[in-house]
Amino acid sequence: MRLPLLALLARGPAHGYELKQDLEQLLGSAYPQPNVGQIYVTLGRLEKSGLIEGEDVEQASRPNKKVYHLTEAGREALSAWFEETEDEPRVRDEFFMKLALAPRTNLADQIALINKQRRQYLTTMRNLSKLAAAEDRDNRIAHLLIEGAMLHLQADLDWLERCQEELEELE
């Protein structure tokens, strides 16, 4: 959450609730809705680390609000983030650990685990399809997010099929 908030502040000052709304509007309904409390906690940490500065702004009929802006250190951190590539493979997969350890425990059947996970992925795929149909057609970012999630799910489904084939050959 830290770096996406910095990115939103790169275009200009904002307060926490505005940042929450910007994230929701940008990413659409497929992305988990950010918790406003978590946003304010993160803004506090960013301020302590010198990446942003906050300024209290008086409001006539409401309590003061704190508006944040990016510091030069924040701009540098954001530039470094955009330069980084994401090359971490999903080797630490929780499901795969269950699958690998099931025979050692005698508590779960590997094929049953695969089938249960497959059903979960298919349910998630259906839910994403519904979200895609309901999402504003003009929100290209949200549609790309949904499409990416669905492609990852399809790859996961293909991988489950491969796991099942391998395990059935061993029997």
Beta strands in 80-157 (DSSP E): none
At residue 36, the 3 state secondary structure works out as: helix
Residues 78-111 have pLDDT tens digits of 999 888 877 776 767 788 888 888 888 888 899 9
Report the predicted TM-score, pTM, of the whole model to 2 decimal places: 0.71
Residues 40-68 have pLDDT tens digits of 999 999 999 999 999 988 888 888 889 99
Q: In whole angstroms, how far apart are CA 10 and each of 16, 34, 46, 76, 82? A: 14, 19, 14, 11, 13
Q: What's the confidence (pLDDT) of residue 147?
A: 93
Between 160 and 138, the higher pLDDT residue? 160
47: tokens are 């301020």
The CATH code of the domain at 2-83 is 1.10.10.10
Residues 148-169 have pLDDT tens digits of 999 999 999 999 999 999 999 8
Q: What's the confidence (pLDDT) of residue 68?
A: 95
Q: What's the confidence (pLDDT) of residue 18?
A: 92
| Closest among 69, 64, 91 to 12, alpha carbons compared | 69
Q: What's the confidence (pLDDT) of residue 39?
A: 93
Label residue 13 by pLDDT band (50, 70, 90): very high
Residues 17-46 have pLDDT tens digits of 999 998 888 888 777 888 889 999 999 999
> Which residues have a Cβ under 8 Å from the Cβ of 7 and sit 6 or more positions away?
78, 81
Q: What's the confidence (pLDDT) of residue 38?
A: 92
Please report, as a single letter, which amino acid is at residue 70: L
Q: What's the confidence (pLDDT) of residue 117?
A: 94
Do 54 and 68 form a contact (C-beta atoms < 8 A)? yes
Residue ranges per structural domain of the chain: 2-83, 94-170
CB-based burial, 144-159: b 16+ in 10 Å, e otherwise: ebbeebbeebeebeeb
